[in-house]
């Protein structure tokens, strides 16, 4: 084995030992340990300085000398040691094989230590003497030269190497340490000019420890085909160092004592010799220890942050706000848990334990218990349990020791025995008996049988719950406001107007409400003062008056009176107070309009005739007389007062006649009969005419001459009609006891049908200002109702019956024939069949 | 319960404002079931001891808690909600003596208006005539002139032999008449035309210079009462030969929406009027504007104002008489007097006593009221057989009422002692 080989082996062993030794030493030998540390420390120093040496060059001053000396020393040492190894190897055995390395290792380690000590001693003297500068230079040069020389020699020496392996050149090697040193010095002097430039340049350009590759984290094999391995910080190519083949490696291995700790930096391609510290680091990492050797894992623990309050706290900053606030997320969690507990989804340990305990207990079925609670019944399959009817409690007679009065005496006994054939007629079902004590009471022989019968009763006569719906009568009545809140309305009779001698057919107020006109069957028309009930004027017309109607305009005083088939326009004002209006009326009516103006077609002329008034009649107050072909039953003034609509009984198509007073002419608006016309009314605001036949009300547009609407009342026979002053609602009274309210905007069907009367309804009336309407008929009561019509079209009228007023006395099954409201006051006037007028306020 | 009440005792003390009837201020324990008659006996007995100068027994009325005692004391206190534990002050005053029927003056038709002045009674009737009577019941004159029922009459002034009176009628006019007393002749001096409809009421101011009429045409007209009319009537109007001169109103007060039913002077410048439109209005005559409005909820038929106690009393289209205080800004009724069973048509204050007034209603009754007893009138002056249309108490000793039974009834009241 060649000496370089053995040297290498030795190194290897060294490295192994250096790894092993500390472990051994810690356990075995402390003295050896200290030595080892020294050794390693020396080596590390050498290594560290070795790396530095390249850059810390001529500028170094005396302070660096020590390092340089050491450096030099090291290099010398390495050279010496190499020599010595060779010597040593040659001394011991040149034929050592790899297999013998283990045996050598022990000796070698000890020997080496000695060698190195010697070497250091020996070189110390030399190092002190030598000039640090030159030597460091030479040393570096030596290294570089070695490399360069080797590359040069590569090809040349290949063959030689073979020879060298075979032929040991001991002599040459022994001298080699000194010779090589000398040769290298020579070589450096020769080669330096070429090589040094680069060296300096690189050294000058950067302060860095090494040239840095800037290619980044890329696989280096990308540069396999190139001459360079990347770029330095200045963008210059970092050239690959000359490739070494195995022989070079081998040679280097042989020559370089640091080869074992030389690695190639793949980025720069430079060889890097690992320092002692690096090695130690690697070693510690491998052992899985803390890389820093100074770190003490077992240093005593000092508890800095304790609960004790320090006089000068380590941390002076205030507590965070968070530490004072309850945690929101915790709160959510807790609330979730609480909720779950409440709902029974989760159970506390206590509950769970309770449940377990219950489960463990023995559960007996309560055979004899009565199912009292609903749950128990459901358990037993009893649904909707109906308890059995209770038997009556035993009476005194059933006592074992009844009071003596309950015991049957002889007479009763006789009776008892007599009824033995018919025992159900007996007073008791048993015979009351007296026993001295309860003990003496014998067994009841019928007990079993009675029990059995009782069971049969319960079993065979099933009981059932009868669901009875209880509806109070009040619930069926619609919710209406209290009449007290709907005041004012007429509540009592205030005045009674007496004077007529027969039933009063018709009444009307004058537009201001000061006077009342009434027409009666006794053939008179009377004018009354409203406030006092004074009859101011009586006009005798001989024939029964069927209808009176005061002109609704205040400027003139004119009353239309229907007497038989005539309609008389009467001026009542002449002696009742309104002198000026009466005078005006007279002036207006005195002169008939020129005949040319009055034109009536033949059909009209055939049924209506405007008569001149005789002087006697004029003196009575009659101003105009219109004769119809049949009796007139109804009159209605238009709101403007010029037109008067008269309804003729059984008139057929000519039943409705419209008179125009100012021009003294008449019109027949209808060509065909639609039925038996009962009455006709003008609409208060629009040119509409409402005509009531027996069962329907038709609304005609007078301007366009067409039917607007047909209202189906549902009544058998209409008696009267009244139009709401706003004109959107119509009230119809019928002989079959109904009052029918129509909302003309709503529909042609009745809005509401009021059955308030016990007899035929003969008259209905609206108040002009207050939301009141009234109806009266053959029953002795007049019904006043609240009829609120809202301006809002969406709100339906509110109808509330308010008051039943005792009407006029009933005569010949007639009571009140016509109703009128005072135009301003909430007063109601009724024309009575008992020849009186009654004013209610 | 009756036993309990009879047993209950309470302490009372008698108080009076009439000094001559004063009694010692010592409390007495009496049964709570006593009525005013027994209290009366007690007071008289005390008076007999303390003031022997009063020879005759005096009848007293007793005011308990500001209201006249009509029932037993216990019931009265229960109504008032007063404790019977404490000593009760009972004020007593001499009772207004009962009016005695004095006369019944027959007319041909309903009597619609009446007014007295000292010894003369003026009445207006539905037969369009005015009548003058003496208080002794002697018919002096029947004056035709109006063409419609006379609804209002009033004396204006007495000037020696010459008496002036005014009348209003439904013939839309008011007339001013001069009555020569010794000659017993009457003359229509002025006809006041201005109303569009019948005159309903009439009132002469205190200084007798003006009078106001209310009418169915919703207006109130103020007229001068001067008999010579050069100053205020246009010349062309004077030529009307009808009934002497025609006069036009000094002022027309427009504001009522319906008929004016009653008008009264409050002072020389203020007129109060009542209307069918549920309003009482106080008018400023100088400005012709409304000073104040009081709203009721029924049509008013009559109003009267008392200068003695500055209160308004109204009759309206129901059974109640209402007392208003025109000085209060809110139109709240101070008291409601309810005893009539029909409409009350007429109310009149006493001219001398601040707590008494007269009312006539359609229930044929005339009632004399004391303002401190709203439930029960002092006296009911019955006798009429039909609706009472008017009443008058201008002469403090005569209570006169006209009715639709064609009579005018006079009740004489002995002059009671004036209030202290």
The tens digit of pLDDT for each residue in A252-280 reads: 888 888 888 888 887 777 888 889 999 99
Enumerate residues 23 to 82 of chain B having a beta carbon within 8 A of any beta carbon in chain A: none
Kindly state whether A575 is in contact with chain B, defined as any CB-CB distance less than 8 angstroms: yes
Kindly state whether B299 is in contact with chain A, defined as any CB-CB distance less than 8 angstroms: yes
C-alpha distance across the termini of chain A, in Å: 153
Q: Does a structural domain hold residue A341?
A: no
Q: Does a structural domain hold residue A734?
A: yes
Q: Residue A155: its pLDDT value, please?
A: 43
Write down the residue that tokens 């024309």 correspond to: A831
Inter-residue contact B159 to B192 (CB < 8 Å): no
Q: Which residues of A touch B126 (CB under 8 A)?
A: 534
Based on the fold, state whether residues A490 and A427 are members of the same structural domain. Answer: no
Kindly state whether A841 is in contact with chain B, defined as any CB-CB distance less than 8 angstroms: yes
Yes or no, beta carbons of A577 and B277 under 8 Å apart: no
CA distance A585 to chain B (A): 15
Based on the fold, state whether residues B123 and B258 are members of the same structural domain. Answer: yes
Q: Does a structural domain hold residue B9?
A: yes
Kindly state whether B197 is in contact with chain A, defined as any CB-CB distance less than 8 angstroms: yes
Torsion of CA A359, A360, A365, A366, to 10 degrees: -100
> In whole angstroms, what separates CA B45 from the centre of its chain?
36
Q: Does a structural domain hold residue B329?
A: yes
Residues in chain B: 420
Based on the fold, state whether residues A53 and A110 are members of the same structural domain. Answer: yes
Chain A: residue whose CA lies nearest to B296 = A488
Task: Please report how many Cα atoms fall inside a 13 Å half-sphere around the Cα of residue A14, on the Cβ side.
Answer: 24
| Alpha carbons A460 and A480: distance in angstroms, whole number | 52
Chain A: residue whose CA lies nearest to B257 = A824
Yes or no, beta carbons of B196 and A514 under 8 Å apart: no
Inter-residue contact B64 to B76 (CB < 8 Å): yes
Mean pLDDT on A283-304: 88
Is residue A329 scored above 70 in pLDDT? yes
H/E segment holding residue A616: helix A615-620
Print the SS3 string covering chain B.
CHHHHHHCEEEEEEECCCHHHCCCCCCEEEECCCCHHHHHHHHHHHHHHHCCCCCCCCCEEEEECCEECCCCHHHHHHHHCCCCCCCEEEEEEECCCCCEEEEEEECCCCEEEEEEECCEEEEEECCCCEEEEECCCCEEEEECCCCCCEEEEEEEEEECCEEEEEEEECCCEEEEEEEECCCCEEEEEEEEECCCCCEEEEEECCCCCEEEEEECCCEEEEEECCCCCCCCCCHHHHCCCCCCEEECCCEEEECCCCCEEEEEEEECCEEEEEECCCEEEEEECCCCEEEEEEECCCCEEEEEEECCCCEEEEEECCCEEEEECCCCCCCCEEEEEECCCCCEEEEEECCCCCCEEEEEECCCCEEEEECCCCCCCCEEECCCCCCEEEEECCCCCEEEEEECCCEEEEEECCCCCCCC
Based on the fold, state whether residues B180 and B197 are members of the same structural domain. Answer: yes
Residue A560 β-bridge partners: A549, A569
| Alpha carbons A805 and A624: distance in angstroms, whole number | 38
Reported as a pLDDT band with limits 50, 70 and 90, residue A237 is: confident
The domain boundary residue, chosen from B94, B126, B160 = B94
Task: Please report how many Cα atoms fall inside a 13 Å half-sphere around the Cα of residue B69, on the Cβ side.
Answer: 27
Q: Residue A661: its pLDDT value, please?
A: 87
Kindly state whether A498 is in contact with chain B, defined as any CB-CB distance less than 8 angstroms: no
Based on the fold, state whether residues B35 and B116 are members of the same structural domain. Answer: no
Q: Mind listing the pLDDT tens digit for each residue in A142-160?
A: 444 444 444 444 444 444 4
The domain boundary residue, chosen from B63, B94, B125 = B94
Q: Can you give the CATH number for the domain in which A545 is found?
A: 2.130.10.10
Kindly state whether B305 is in contact with chain A, defined as any CB-CB distance less than 8 angstroms: no
Based on the fold, state whether residues B200 and B105 are members of the same structural domain. Answer: yes
Based on the fold, state whether residues A405 and A505 are members of the same structural domain. Answer: no
Chain A: residue whose CA lies nearest to B199 = A577
Q: Can you give the CATH number for the domain in which B22 is found?
A: 3.10.20.90
The sheet carrying B289-295 orders its strands as B260-267, B270-275, B279-284, B289-295
Yes or no, beta carbons of B362 and A495 under 8 Å apart: yes
Yes or no, beta carbons of B170 and A577 under 8 Å apart: yes
CA distance B300 to chain A (A): 11
Yes or no, beta carbons of B342 and A825 under 8 Å apart: no
Yes or no, beta carbons of A825 and B198 under 8 Å apart: no
Yes or no, beta carbons of B171 and A532 under 8 Å apart: no
CA distance B176 to chain A (A): 19
Considering its fold, how many domains does chain A have in total? 3
Based on the fold, state whether residues B328 and B358 are members of the same structural domain. Answer: yes
Taking chain B (420 residues) in consecutive chunks of 10 residues, what is each chunk's mean pLDDT?
Answer: 56 84 83 84 84 78 84 84 82 86 90 90 92 89 89 90 90 90 88 89 91 92 81 47 71 92 91 92 90 89 91 91 84 86 92 90 92 89 91 90 92 62
Is residue A117 scored above 60 in pLDDT? no
CA distance A618 to chain B (A): 20
Coil, strand, or helix at residue A628? strand
The domain boundary residue, chosen from B31, B60, B94 = B94
Is residue A463 scored above 90 in pLDDT? no
Yes or no, beta carbons of A532 and B404 under 8 Å apart: yes
Considering its fold, how many domains does chain B have in total? 2
Domain range for A834 is 483-840
CA distance B275 to chain A (A): 12
- Find the radius of gyration of the CA atoms of chain B: 24
- On the 0-12 / 13-18 / 19+ scale of CB atoms within 10 A, B133 is buried
Based on the fold, state whether residues A91 and A12 are members of the same structural domain. Answer: yes
Q: Residue A22: its pLDDT value, please?
A: 42
Q: Does a structural domain hold residue B144?
A: yes
Based on the fold, state whether residues B79 and B200 are members of the same structural domain. Answer: no
| Alpha carbons A243 and A223: distance in angstroms, whole number | 13
Based on the fold, state whether residues B33 and B145 are members of the same structural domain. Answer: no
| Alpha carbons A726 and A767: distance in angstroms, whole number | 11
The closest alpha carbon to A636, from A816, A506, A463, belongs to A506
Q: Mind listing the pLDDT tens digit for each residue in A156-165?
A: 444 444 444 4
Reported as a pLDDT band with limits 50, 70 and 90, residue A821 is: very high
CA distance A615 to chain B (A): 22
Q: Does a structural domain hold residue B239?
A: yes
The closest alpha carbon to A730, from A722, A739, A718, belongs to A722
Best of B259, B274, B295, B300 to disrupt the A interface (most A CBs within 10 Å) is: B259
Kindly state whether A495 is in contact with chain B, defined as any CB-CB distance less than 8 angstroms: yes
Q: Mind listing the pLDDT tens digit for each residue in A682-727?
A: 999 999 999 999 999 999 998 888 899 999 988 999 999 999 999 8
Yes or no, beta carbons of B197 and A512 under 8 Å apart: yes
Chain A: residue whose CA lies nearest to B193 = A580
H/E segment holding residue A277: helix A276-287
Q: Residue A371: its pLDDT value, please?
A: 65
The domain boundary residue, chosen from A210, A229, A254 = A210
Based on the fold, state whether residues B139 and B76 are members of the same structural domain. Answer: no
The b-or-e profile of A53-72 (16+ CB within 10 A means b, else e) is: bbbeeeebeeebbebbbbbb
Q: Does a structural domain hold residue A323?
A: no
Cα–Cα distances (Å) from A757 to A532, A538, A678, A716, A788, in that order, read 30, 33, 20, 15, 21
Q: Does a structural domain hold residue B417?
A: no
Based on the fold, state whether residues A405 and A531 are members of the same structural domain. Answer: no
Q: Does a structural domain hold residue B418?
A: no
Kindly state whether B341 is in contact with chain A, defined as any CB-CB distance less than 8 angstroms: no
Based on the fold, state whether residues A757 and A617 are members of the same structural domain. Answer: yes
Based on the fold, state whether residues B32 and B72 are members of the same structural domain. Answer: yes
Yes or no, beta carbons of A825 and B299 under 8 Å apart: yes
Q: Does a structural domain hold residue B420?
A: no
Chain A: residue whose CA lies nearest to B299 = A825
Q: Residue B415: its pLDDT value, please?
A: 64
Of B170, B172, B276, the CB nearest to A824: B276
Q: Residue A647: its pLDDT value, please?
A: 92
Print the SS3 string covering A135-196.
HHHHHHHHHHHHHHHHHHHHHHHHHHHHHHHHCCCHHHHHHHHHHHHHHHHHHHHHHHHHHH
**What are B33-40's contacts with CB under 8 Å, separation 24+?**
B33/B2, B33/B5, B33/B6, B33/B8, B33/B72, B33/B73, B33/B74, B34/B72, B34/B73, B35/B69, B35/B71, B35/B72, B35/B73, B36/B60, B36/B61, B36/B62, B36/B69, B36/B70, B39/B69, B39/B73, B39/B90, B39/B92
Residue B320 β-bridge partners: B338
- Find the radius of gyration of the CA atoms of chain A: 71
Mean pLDDT on A357-374: 78
Kindly state whether B388 is in contact with chain A, defined as any CB-CB distance less than 8 angstroms: no
Best of A494, A513, A530, A531 to disrupt the B interface (most B CBs within 10 Å) is: A531
Best of B108, B148, B174 to disrupt the A interface (most A CBs within 10 Å) is: B148
Kindly state whether A580 is in contact with chain B, defined as any CB-CB distance less than 8 angstroms: yes
The closest alpha carbon to B285, from B273, B296, B275, B277, belongs to B273
Q: Does a structural domain hold residue B369?
A: yes
Q: Mind listing the pLDDT tens digit for each residue in A596-619?
A: 666 778 888 888 888 888 888 888
Kindly state whether A123 is in contact with chain B, defined as any CB-CB distance less than 8 angstroms: no
User: What's the CA angle centered on A352, arms A349 and A356, to 5 degrees?
Assistant: 135
| Alpha carbons A527 and A510: distance in angstroms, whole number | 10
Q: Residue A771: its pLDDT value, please?
A: 93
Based on the fold, state whether residues B48 and B188 are members of the same structural domain. Answer: no
Of B110, B171, B342, the CB nearest to A577: B171
Based on the fold, state whether residues B55 and B110 are members of the same structural domain. Answer: no
Write down the residue that tokens 């069927």 correspond to: A546
Q: Residue A184: its pLDDT value, please?
A: 53
- The percent of residues in chain A predicted with pLDDT above 70, rounded, is 73
Based on the fold, state whether residues A692 and A795 are members of the same structural domain. Answer: yes
| Alpha carbons B101 and A810: distance in angstroms, whole number | 40
Yes or no, beta carbons of A577 and B172 under 8 Å apart: yes
Domain range for B201 is 100-412
Q: Mind listing the pLDDT tens digit for each residue in A749-773?
A: 999 999 999 999 999 999 999 999 9
Q: Can you give the CATH number for the domain in which B279 is found?
A: 2.130.10.10
| Alpha carbons A790 and A782: distance in angstroms, whole number | 25
Is residue A75 scored above 80 in pLDDT? no
- On the 0-12 / 13-18 / 19+ scale of CB atoms within 10 A, A356 is exposed
Task: Please report how many Cα atoms fall inside a 13 Å half-sphere around the Cα of residue B419, on the Cβ side.
Answer: 12
| Alpha carbons A54 and A21: distance in angstroms, whole number | 32
Assigned token pair, B336: 């409601």
Q: Residue B301: its pLDDT value, please?
A: 93
Q: Mind listing the pLDDT tens digit for each residue in A489-548?
A: 999 999 999 999 999 999 999 988 889 999 999 999 999 999 888 888 899 988 999 999
CA distance B194 to chain A (A): 11
Reported as a pLDDT band with limits 50, 70 and 90, residue A315 is: confident
Give the residue, A210 or B179, on which the prediction is more confident: B179
Q: Which residues of A touch B402 (CB under 8 A)?
A: none
Q: Residue B168: its pLDDT value, please?
A: 93
Q: Which residues of A touch B197 (CB under 8 A)?
A: 512, 514, 577-578
Kindly state whether A579 is in contact with chain B, defined as any CB-CB distance less than 8 angstroms: yes
Based on the fold, state whether residues B108 and B90 are members of the same structural domain. Answer: no
Kindly state whether A729 is in contact with chain B, defined as any CB-CB distance less than 8 angstroms: no
Kindly state whether A685 is in contact with chain B, defined as any CB-CB distance less than 8 angstroms: no
């Amino acid at each position: 084995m060649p000496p370089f080989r053995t040297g290498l082996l030795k190194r290897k062993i060294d490295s192994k030992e250096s790894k092993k030794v500390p472990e051994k030493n810690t356990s075995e030998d402390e003295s050896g340990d200290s030595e080892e540390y020294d050794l390693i420390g020396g080596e590390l120093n050498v290594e560290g300085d070795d790396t530095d040496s390249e850059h810390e060059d001529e500028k170094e001053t005396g302070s660096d000398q020590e390092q340089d000396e050491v450096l030099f020393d090291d290099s010398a040492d390495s050279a010496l040691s190499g020599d010595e190894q060779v010597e040593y190897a040659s001394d011991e055995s040149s034929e050592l094989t790899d297999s013998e390395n283990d045996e050598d290792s022990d000796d070698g380690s000890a020997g080496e230590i000695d060698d190195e000590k010697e070497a250091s001693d020996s070189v110390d003297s030399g190092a002190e003497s030598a000039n640090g500068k030159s030597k460091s230079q030479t040393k570096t040069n030596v290294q570089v030269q070695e490399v360069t020389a080797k590359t040069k020699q590569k090809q040349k020496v290949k063959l030689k190497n073979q020879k060298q392996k075979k032929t040991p050149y001991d002599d040459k090697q022994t001298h080699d340490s000194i010779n090589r040193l000398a040769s290298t010095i020579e070589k450096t002097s020769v080669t330096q000019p070429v090589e040094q430039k680069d060296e300096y340049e690189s050294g000058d350009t950067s302060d860095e420890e090494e040239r840095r590759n800037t290619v980044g984290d890329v696989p280096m094999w990308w540069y396999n085909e190139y001459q360079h391995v990347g770029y330095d910080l200045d963008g210059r190519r970092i050239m690959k160092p000359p490739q070494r083949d195995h022989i070079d490696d081998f040679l280097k291995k042989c020559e370089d004592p640091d080869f074992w700790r030389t690695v190639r930096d793949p980025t720069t391609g430079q060889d890097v010799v690992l320092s002692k510290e690096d090695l130690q680091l690697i070693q510690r990492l491998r052992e899985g220890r803390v890389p820093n050797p100074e770190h003490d894992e077992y240093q005593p623990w000092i508890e800095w942050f304790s609960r004790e309050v320090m006089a000068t706290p380590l941390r002076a900053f205030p507590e965070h706000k968070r530490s004072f606030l309850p945690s929101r997320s915790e709160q959510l969690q807790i609330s979730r848990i609480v909720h779950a507990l409440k709902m029974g989804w989760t159970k506390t340990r206590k509950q769970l334990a309770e449940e377990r305990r219950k489960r463990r207990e023995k559960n007996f079925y309560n055979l004899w218990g009565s199912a009292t609670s609903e749950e128990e019944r459901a358990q037993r399959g009893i649904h909707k349990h109906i308890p059995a009817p209770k038997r009556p409690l035993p009476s005194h007679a059933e006592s074992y020791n009844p009071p003596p009065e309950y015991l049957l005496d002889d007479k009763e006994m006789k009776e008892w025995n007599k009824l033995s054939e018919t025992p159900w007629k007996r007073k008791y079902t048993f015979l009351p008996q007296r026993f001295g004590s309860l003990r003496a009471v014998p067994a009841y022989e019928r007990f079993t049988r009675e029990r059995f019968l009782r069971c049969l009763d319960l079993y065979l006569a099933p009981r059932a719950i009868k669901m009875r719906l209880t509806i109070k009568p009040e619930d069926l009545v619609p919710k209406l406001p209290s009449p007290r809140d709907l005041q004012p309305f007429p509540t009592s009779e205030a005045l009674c107007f007496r004077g007529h001698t027969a039933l009063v057919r018709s009444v009307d107020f004058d537009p201001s409400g000061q006077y009342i006109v009434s027409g009666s069957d006794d053939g008179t028309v009377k004018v009354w003062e409203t406030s006092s009930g004074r009859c101011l004027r009586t006009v005798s017309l001989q024939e029964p008056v069927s209808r009176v109607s005061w002109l609704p305009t205040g400027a003139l005083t004119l009353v239309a009176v229907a007497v038989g088939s005539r309609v008389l326009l009467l001026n009542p004002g002449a002696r009742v107070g309104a002198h000026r209006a009466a005078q005006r009326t007279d002036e207006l009516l005195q002169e008939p309009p020129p005949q040319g103006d009055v034109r009536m077609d033949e059909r009209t002329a055939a049924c209506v005739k405007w008569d001149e008034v005789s002087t006697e009649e004029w003196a009575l107050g009659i101003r105009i007389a219109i004769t119809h072909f049949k009796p007139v039953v109804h009159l209605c003034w238009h709101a403007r007062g010029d037109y008067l609509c008269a309804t003729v009984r059984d008139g057929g198509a000519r039943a409705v006649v419209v008179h125009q007073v100012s021009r003294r002419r008449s019109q027949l608006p209808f060509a065909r009969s639609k039925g038996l016309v009962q009455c006709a009314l003008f609409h208060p605001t629009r040119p509409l005419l409402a005509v009531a036949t027996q069962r329907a009300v038709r609304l005609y547009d007078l301007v366009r001459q067409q039917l607007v609407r047909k209202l189906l009342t549902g009544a058998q026979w209409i008696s009267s009609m009244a139009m709401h002053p706003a004109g959107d609602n119509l009230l119809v009274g019928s002989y079959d006891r109904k009052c029918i309210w129509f909302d003309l905007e709503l529909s042609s069907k009745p809005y509401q049908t009021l059955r308030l009367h016990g007899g035929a309804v003969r008259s209905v009336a609206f108040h002009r200002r207050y939301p009141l309407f009234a109806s009266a008929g053959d029953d002795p009561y007049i019904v006043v109702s609240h009829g609120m019509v809202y301006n809002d079209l969406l709100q339906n009228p509110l109808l509330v019956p308010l008051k039943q007023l005792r009407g006029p006395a009933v005569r010949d099954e007639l009571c009140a024939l016509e109703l009128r409201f005072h135009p301003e006051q909430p007063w109601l006037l009724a024309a009575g069949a008992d020849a009186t007028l009654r004013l209610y306020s | 319960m009756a036993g309990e009440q009879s047993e209950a005792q309470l302490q009372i003390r008698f108080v009076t404002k009439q000094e001559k009837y004063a009694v010692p201020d010592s409390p007495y324990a009496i049964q709570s079931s006593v009525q005013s008659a027994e209290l009366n006996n007690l007071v008289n007995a005390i008076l007999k001891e303390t003031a022997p100068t009063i020879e005759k027994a005096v009848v007293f009325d007793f005011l308990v808690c500001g209201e006249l005692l009509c029932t037993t004391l216990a019931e009265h206190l229960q109504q008032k909600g007063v404790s019977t534990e404490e000593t009760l002050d009972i004020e007593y005053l001499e009772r207004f003596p009962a009016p005695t029927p004095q006369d019944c003056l027959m007319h041909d038709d309903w009597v619609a208006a009446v007014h007295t002045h000292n010894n003369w009674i003026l009445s207006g009737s539905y037969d369009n005539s005015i009548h003058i009577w003496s208080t002794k019941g002697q018919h002096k004159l029947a004056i035709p002139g109006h063409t419609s029922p006379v609804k209002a009459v009033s004396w204006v002034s007495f000037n020696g032999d010459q008496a002036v009176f005014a009348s209003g009628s439904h013939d839309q006019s008011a007339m001013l008449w001069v009555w020569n007393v010794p000659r017993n002749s009457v003359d229509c001096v002025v006809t006041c035309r201005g109303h569009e409809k019948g005159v309903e009421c009439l009132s002469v101011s205190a200084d007798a210079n003006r009078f106001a009429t209310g009418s169915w045409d919703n207006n109130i007209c103020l007229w001068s009462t001067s008999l010579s009319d050069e100053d205020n009537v246009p010349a062309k109007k004077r030529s009307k030969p009808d009934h002497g001169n025609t006069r036009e109103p000094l002022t027309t007060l427009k504001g009522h929406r319906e008929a004016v039913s009653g008008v009264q002077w409050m002072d020389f410048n203020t007129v109060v009027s009542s209307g069918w439109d549920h309003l009482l209005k106080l008018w400023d005559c100088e400005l012709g504007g409304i000073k104040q409005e009081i709203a009721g909820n029924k049509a008013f038929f009559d109003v009267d104002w008392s200068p003695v106690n500055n209160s308004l009393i109204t009759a309206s289209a129901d059974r109640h008489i209402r007392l208003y205080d025109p000085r209060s800004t809110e139109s709240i009724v101070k008291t409601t007097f309810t005893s009539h069973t029909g409409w009350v048509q007429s109310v009149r204050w006493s001219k001398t006593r601040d707590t008494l007034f007269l009312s006539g209603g359609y229930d044929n009754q005339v009632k004399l009221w004391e303002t401190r007893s709203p439930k029960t009138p002092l006296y009911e002056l019955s006798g009429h057989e039909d609706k009472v249309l008017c009443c008058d108490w201008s002469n403090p000793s005569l209570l006169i009422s006209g009715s639709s039974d064609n009579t005018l009834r006079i009740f004489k009241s002995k002059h009671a002692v004036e209030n202290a």
